[in-house]
């Protein structure tokens, strides 16, 4: 449990940074609007997960997650130029965020005895719903519904986790392999412009 908590804090921090930069880039809002959007990005996925799992919302019970997101937003404001310049690093923050959140969400669901087919979906929702909420409110089509490989990378990593878990691989190995799968697929998709086939061509 303890390392999971640590991961949730770090995921929230990463999402606070990437949420603030995304909100500012997309529309140059005032600092209050940017902070609000960044905060929703950082805690949105975990909120959806906890509502669906019928448990207390984690950031309402534990103010440390709020502080994590706040630190991320402040870091984004202070190190704005280097972070913008290092766009690749910034994508890495978002990628690390979705990898951590997928596994944290998946493990929380498994601990609650959720069906092994539903648990990976909870992991994916934890990772991507924050940015879906952000984009929907900013009146943009969420990245999820574009051809980019994003949520599918999370689901892939979650399925790998379930397979290793069923094979009784130890927890830390399972964590690093499945998290690595998410990071590698996402970075490969960005680098080589990988996309999924269309549902049906028109």
Residues that bind a copy of itself (CB under 8 A): 20, 23-24, 27-37, 47, 51-54, 56-57, 59-60, 63, 66, 77, 80, 114-115, 117-118, 121-122, 132, 136-142, 144-147, 151-152, 195-202
Neighbours of 9 (CB within 10 A): 19
37 vs 100 by CB, closer to a copy of itself: 37
> By C-beta, is 188 or 196 nearer to a copy of itself?
196
Residue with token string 């996309």: 195
Q: Kindly state the smallest distance separating residue 59's Cβ from a copy of itself, in Å.
A: 8
Comparing CB distances to a copy of itself, the nearer of 5 and 169 is 5
| Least distance in angstroms from the C-beta of 81 to a copy of itself | 9
Cα(128)–Cα(105) distance, integer angstroms: 11
CB 35 within 8 A of CB 111: no
CB of 173 to a copy of itself, least distance (A): 27
146/171 with CB nearer a copy of itself: 146
In three-state secondary structure terms, 39 is helix
Q: Do 9 and 105 meet the contact criterion of CB atoms below 8 Å apart?
A: no
d(CA 117, CA 137): 30
């Amino acid at each position: 449990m303890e390392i999971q908590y640590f991961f949730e804090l770090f995921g929230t921090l990463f999402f606070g940074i990437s949420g603030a930069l995304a909100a500012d880039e997309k529309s140059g809002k005032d600092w209050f609007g940017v902070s609000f959007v960044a905060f929703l990005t950082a805690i949105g996925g975990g909120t959806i997960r906890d509502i669906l799992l019928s448990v207390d919302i984690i950031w309402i019970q534990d103010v440390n997650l709020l502080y994590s997101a706040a630190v991320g937003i402040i870091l984004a404001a202070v190190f704005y130029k280097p972070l913008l310049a290092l766009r690749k690093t910034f994508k890495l923050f978002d990628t690390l965020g979705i990898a951590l959140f997928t596994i944290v969400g998946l493990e929380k669901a498994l601990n609650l005895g959720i069906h092994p087919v539903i648990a990976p979906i909870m992991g994916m929702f934890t990772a991507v719903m924050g940015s879906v909420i952000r984009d929907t409110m900013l009146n943009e089509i969420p990245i999820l519904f574009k051809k980019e490989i994003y949520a599918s990378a999370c689901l892939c990593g979650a399925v790998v986790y379930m397979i290793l878990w069923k094979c009784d691989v130890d927890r830390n190995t399972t964590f690093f392999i499945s998290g690595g799968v998410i990071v590698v697929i996402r970075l490969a998709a960005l680098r080589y412009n990988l996309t999924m086939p269309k549902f049906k061509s028109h």
